[in-house]
Amino acid sequence: MLLTLALLTIGLVSVTGEAMFLARYNTKQATKFTQDRARRLGSWVARMAVRYLPNNQRSPFRSELKRIQQEDGVTFVALCNADGTINLARSSRYTRLHVTEALIPEAATLVMENMQILSPVFKPTTDQSRLMAVIPLRLPDGTVMSVYHEMDLTEPLARAKKAAVVEGLVSGGVLVVFCLGLWFILNRTVTSRVHHIVTSAQAMAEGKPVPDPLRGSDELAMIDSAMRIAHATVNGQAEEVRAQRERFRTMVESLPVGVITMRAGVVTFVNKAAQDLLGNRSQSSESLPQELQHAIEQLTQSDGPQLIELTIPAPDERGLLQLEVTAHSQVGPRGQGTQVMLHDVTARRAAERQREALSHEIANASEREQRRIGQDLHDDICQRLAAIKITMQDFEEILAAQAPGLMDDADHIVDQITDAIHITRALARGLSPVDIDAGGLGVALAALARSAREVHGVECRLNIPESLPDISQHTATQLYRIAQESINNAAKHAHASNITVDLTSHSDDHLELSVANDGQPFTPSATSGGGMGLPIMRYRAASIGGSITFETGSLSTATTMRCSVPLSNPSLS
Q: How far apart are CA 367 and CA 571, in angstroms?
A: 13
* Residue 317, pLDDT score: 67
CA distances in angstroms from 46 to 25, 50, 76, listed in the order given: 31, 6, 15
Is the pTM above the cut of 0.75? Answer: no
* Residue 502, pLDDT score: 92
Judging by beta carbons within 10 Å of its beta carbon (0-12, 13-18, 19+), is residue 271 exposed, middle or buried? buried
Q: Do domains 255-344 and 439-573 have the same CATH topology?
A: no
Nearest one of 453, 452, 457 to 480, comparing CA atoms = 452
On whether the CB atoms of residues 62 and 196 are closer than 8 A, the answer is no
| pLDDT tens, residue by residue, 461-518 | 999 887 778 888 788 888 888 998 888 888 888 888 899 999 988 766 788 999 998 8
Domain 2-160 - what CATH class?
alpha beta
Cα 217 to chain centroid distance, Å, stands at 47
Judging by beta carbons within 10 Å of its beta carbon (0-12, 13-18, 19+), is residue 196 exposed, middle or buried? middle
* Residue 324, pLDDT score: 83
Using a CB cutoff of 8 Å and minimum separation of 24, what contacts does 375-384 make? 375/428, 375/432, 377/424, 377/425, 377/427, 377/428, 377/431, 378/424, 378/425, 378/428, 381/424, 382/421, 382/424, 382/425, 382/428
The domain limits of the chain are 2-160, 255-344, 345-432, 439-573
The CATH code that applies to domain 439-573 is 3.30.565.10
Q: How far apart are CA 517 and CA 519, in angstroms?
A: 6
Nearest one of 44, 34, 81 to 65, comparing CA atoms = 44
Q: Which helix (H) or strand (E) holds 463?
A: strand 459-463
| pLDDT tens, residue by residue, 11-61 | 667 667 666 766 677 778 878 888 888 888 888 888 888 888 888 888 888
* Residue 33, pLDDT score: 84
Pair type for strands 86-89 and 74-81: antiparallel
* Residue 332, pLDDT score: 65
* Residue 552, pLDDT score: 59
Residue 274, classed as helix, strand or coil, is helix
* Residue 161, pLDDT score: 77
Furthest C-alpha separation in the chain: 201
| Per-residue model confidence as pLDDT tens for the chain (573 residues) | 565 566 667 766 766 766 676 667 777 887 888 888 888 888 888 888 888 888 888 888 888 888 887 888 888 888 888 888 888 887 778 888 888 888 888 888 888 888 777 788 888 888 888 888 888 888 888 888 888 888 888 887 777 778 777 777 787 777 777 777 777 776 666 777 777 788 888 888 877 888 888 887 778 788 888 888 888 888 888 888 888 878 877 777 777 788 888 777 778 788 888 777 777 776 676 678 878 878 877 777 777 667 888 888 887 766 788 888 888 777 766 667 787 888 888 778 788 778 777 766 766 676 666 667 766 766 677 777 878 878 877 777 787 777 777 777 778 888 888 878 777 766 666 555 655 445 578 888 888 888 888 878 899 999 988 777 888 878 888 888 899 888 888 888 888 889 999 998 876 678 899 999 888 776 655 444 445 677 888 888 888 888 888 875 445 555 788 999 987 665 544
Q: How far apart are CA 226 and CA 200, in angstroms?
A: 12
The CATH code that applies to domain 255-344 is 3.30.450.20
Residue 337 has phi, psi (to 5 degrees) of: -115, 145
Q: Which residues contact 373 (CB under 8 A, 6 or more apart)?
A: 431
On whether the CB atoms of residues 105 and 126 are closer than 8 A, the answer is no
Q: Which residues contact 23 (CB under 8 A, 6 or more apart)?
A: 160, 161, 164, 165
Helix axes 473-492, 346-376, angle to 10 degrees: 80
